[in-house]
Amino acid sequence: MSAVSRIKIFIKEKNISISKLEKMLNLGNGTLRTASIRNSPLKEDTLVKMVQAFPELSPIWLLLGEGDMCKYSYKTASQVSEPTAEYETKSREQRLLIGYLQTDKERLEAESKKKEERIEQLTKEVSQLRDKQP
C-alpha cells in the first residue's frame, strides 16, 4: 500500500475530503487525487506537510505502513489505569528508529576507524620521508 493510500485512510478517519486536505496543506488542486489515480509516489515536502499538519499521525505508519496509524490516542479519565509493562517498553516505532540509529552509528564508527588508521599510516610515511632528507 502506498503513502497516498494511507493518507486516504487517515483522512477518512478524520472525515476530511481530499480537496480540503490539499487546501490545508497548500497543495495544488488535484495533487493528491492525481497521485492516487496514477499510484505515483508523493514528494517529500508533501509528506512533511502532512506530518506537520497532523502531529498525531505516525510518520512510520505513513511511510512504511508499520505500527499504528496514530502515535497516541486520547483516553477519558475512566479509561486511564495504572502504568503497565506496555508503557515501560519502547514502541515499535521507537525500536525501529533506534535500530536505524545504531546501524548508522556503527557505520560512522567504522569509517572513523579507517580514517584514523589512514592518518597513522600517513604520519609514519611523513616521518620516514623526513628521516631520508640530507
Q: What is the pLDDT of residues 98-108, one digit of tens each?
A: 766 777 777 78
More confident residue, 133 or 77: 133
CATH number of 3-71: 1.10.260
Number of alpha helices (DSSP H) and beta strands (DSSP E) in the chain: 7, 0
Please tell me the pTM assigned to this model: 0.51
What pLDDT band is residue 81 in, cutting at 50, 70 and 90?
very low
Upper half-sphere CA count for residue 92 (Cβ side, 13 Å): 13
For the chain, domain boundaries: 3-71, 88-132
Residue 76 scores a pLDDT above 80 = no
pLDDT computed for residue 2 by the predictor: 81
Residue 46 scores a pLDDT above 50 = yes
Distance of alpha carbon 97 from the chain centroid: 8
